[in-house]
Amino acid sequence: MAATAGALRARLAAPGLITAPGVYDMISARIADRMGFPALYMTGFGVVASHLGLPDAGLATYTDMVGRVSQICNITQTPLIADADTGYGGLLNVAHTVRGYIKAGAAALQIEDQEFPKKCGHTPGRRVIACEDMVKKIRVAVEARGADDILIIARTDARTAHGLDEALRRADAYAKSGADILFVESPESEQEMEKICARCELPLMANMVEGGRTPVLSAQQLEQLGYKIAIFPATGFLAASAALESIYQTLKRDGSSTKVTVPLYGFSEFARLMGFEEVWNFDQRHAD
């Protein structure tokens, strides 16, 4: 079972940048969980792609996403930051989402100010709701968590369509509404990232998407700018997809895996990763 929000809050209060790899299925979650990261990030883009085989364009439901949160938290020990898109509807839906993510085991959840249907933050065509409407969503989220310690991350997608100044104005409003962490999505230069960090007093999250709109910086650069959390939502599934395409091309060309050049996880090690040792031990205990 994933660690509680208290562990993530304690890590936020400690020095240093929190690097959170993107996890999108049970294999990526198991591998990342073994590596000692301070947090994992459940990526909406990756979950929708792996679970539904569809684009991250508002097609996944609350049920789809909260189910994935629960599955990941059940097999991991690391605090999970979970994408909750727009809260999946109006204010009542936001409250339901927060309570559902708490029950599923998330340490933090991220709500964004996009119109429904939402889109990935590094793709075009995103539109945002009125700032005042998002403020209400944050207030409801804070109210809905009650005595639970789950962290509320407020994300604004206003930069792309309305400019950085509007995104910063919204970040200020979301901070005053009770958010614990701010996420100004898609700054387009290091100078913009510096301006965000100089303006915002709450912990800030940086979204490092290889090939996206924001420059991918080193951990040292991000920390010097003032970011507290760096998520890498796409790195894992981009690497896995490239490896799969290479391997399948080899199989198609040769009809065999004898000439595969991509490193392969050892089969017995993978069986252990999936928990087969418990099965083997169970079988031994109950053998005739």
Domain 5-240: which topology? Answer: TIM Barrel (3.20.20)
Check whether 57 has a pLDDT greater than 70. yes
What's the first-to-final CA gap in the chain, in angstroms? Answer: 32
Answer whether the bond into residue 117 is a cis peptide, omega within 30°.
yes
CB atoms within 10 A of CB 166: 15
Contact of 53 with 33, CB cutoff 8 Å: no
Read off the pLDDT of residues 93-108 as tens digits, 9 standing for 90 and up.
999 999 999 999 999 9
Q: What percent of the chain has pLDDT over 70?
A: 97
Per-residue pLDDT, averaged over 205-224, amounts to 96
| Burial group, residue 248, by CB count within 10 angstroms (0-12, 13-18, 19+) | exposed
Pairing status of strand 181-184 against strand 151-156? parallel
- pLDDT on residue 255: 97
- pLDDT on residue 178: 97
- pLDDT on residue 123: 64
Averaged pLDDT score across all residues of the chain: 94
Per-residue pLDDT, averaged over 270-279, amounts to 92
- pLDDT on residue 251: 97
In eight-state DSSP terms, residue 286 is: T
Q: What is the pTM of this model?
A: 0.94
Contact of 59 with 48, CB cutoff 8 Å: yes
Opening angle at CA 139, ends 172 and 150, nearest 5: 95
Report the phi/psi class of residue 275: left, alpha or beta, with left for phi > 0 and alpha for psi in -120 to 50.
left
Residues listed for the chain: 288
- pLDDT on residue 287: 86
Write down the residue that tokens 């991220």 correspond to.
110
Read off the pLDDT of residues 124-167 as tens digits, 9 standing for 90 and up.
668 999 999 999 999 999 999 999 999 999 999 999 999 999 99
- pLDDT on residue 210: 96
- pLDDT on residue 120: 67
Read off the pLDDT of residues 167-195 as tens digits, 9 standing for 90 and up.
999 999 999 999 999 999 999 999 999 99
| Closest by Cα among 64, 76, 79 to 12 | 79
